[in-house]
A = this chain, B = another copy of it.
């Protein structure tokens, strides 16, 4: 079978999706059609005898894998990336974060920075990103425009906050916040790029009035939008919530206002109670684990095991600039590290992770959180080709790799590659980055 514009990728390919099984197949082949859809997958012998097309042969140390899904990051914080990580959450917001976010009212600054943000994440293999923007509607549109132009699949959220005692200069009026959110959503859809969508983005309950949350919950439902926010990241934040809502749990506040759906991404979720975990699982909402940030701001360490046992889907985020790395590979590494910290602390547990589960967190589980796992998150037939080619030998001397099984090569990629290894990035079949 031959069709105009088909490409056949041949070599080591991550086709597995079960972290308890082999993820990477040797001598595999995937056929991608001219619309960017994966139309066949199988042993290279099988595929090459049945399909014609432009053959893309991977190098001996290269792996084709699903693109990464960064399920939580803040575009306007990239200017602070790797600096200002010496304070816990609320002080960090006050001293470093609100000041930089407030600069995005400047259109030129917003455009310049957002362009650089999308370049940064794409070049690290992030094919889908769930961005928090700022409170400025134009900034959200500028970010979405960059995603569309550079070809990244993205969810772009204008941030809502009508309460902010920490920085009164960075605050919206309630009604305006709702109107601006609706406007930004229309404008983003108006870009006419089916890869880029608006997402409802209340910063977190402490910064939102109940009426604002209600309006946002209503909008999410009426316009069938995904929702992202923060929960239970830090003990100071939780204390704030207890004072403001003495009769409700943190998750209750979101739920009562229509903000906990099966397309709801709740970043951090470190200090969830057992009943909150149960509720999240019932609702089909996802945890976005952000270990880099959780370490840097000394927020705490997610107990991934109890989240998994509660049947909650766990996705992964870089949480720049709480996290210092825009690389989802680093996020995977830190997720494994977080699990090992739990093992060190609790002694008795042996539930620490190897590289496989974090890899699934950062790919398929991100797609599941957004309910786009029919389109992306793995390299399965019928899905769109969101993919990364990684040459591990660009980071490590080839002689170290010579006896690797395909999964060992993937393990090295996760554990100790650097961005030099990301050689090609594709979204819906289109190459959006090459080194």
Contacts and interface: CB of A to CB of B under 8 A. Distances in A.
A51 interface: no
Contact of A340 (B119, B296, B352, B416): B296
B419 A418 contact: yes
A199 B341 CA distance: 33
Number of copies of this kind of chain in the complex: 2
B82 A411 contact: yes
Contacts of A324: 333, 415-416
Contact of A298 (B352, B396, B414): B352
A113 interface: yes
Nearest to A80: B400
A400 B408 CA distance: 35
A343 interface: yes
Interface in A277-325: 295-296, 298-301, 324-325
- Residue with the greatest number of chain B CB neighbours at <10 A, chosen from A82, A112, A296, A345: A82
Nearest to A301: B344
A160 B300 CA distance: 41
A343 to B, nearest CB: 5
A332 to B, nearest CB: 12
Contacts of A403: 79
Contact of A416 (B117, B325, B333): B325
Interface in A332-347: 333, 337, 340-341, 343-345
Contacts of A337: 295-296
Nearest to A415: B82
A78 B415 contact: no
Q: By DSSP majority rule, is chain A's interface helix, strand, loop, or mixed? A: helix
A120 interface: yes
A87 to B, nearest CB: 10
Contacts of A408: 83
B415 A418 contact: no
A354 interface: yes
Contacts of A399: 79, 112-113, 116
A86 interface: yes
A120 B295 CA distance: 28
Given A116-B400, A120-B397, A415 B85 contact: yes
A79 B420 CA distance: 20
Interface in A387-410: 395-397, 399-400, 403-404, 408
A344 B83 contact: no
Interface of A: 78-79, 81-83, 85-86, 112-113, 116-117, 119-120, 295-296, 298-301, 324-326, 333, 337, 340-341, 343-345, 352, 354, 395-397, 399-400, 403-404, 408, 411-412, 414-416, 418-420
Rank and list the top 9 A-B pairs by shortest CB-CB distance, nearest first: A82-B415, A82-B416, A116-B397, A82-B412, A418-B418, A324-B415, A324-B416, A116-B399, A298-B343
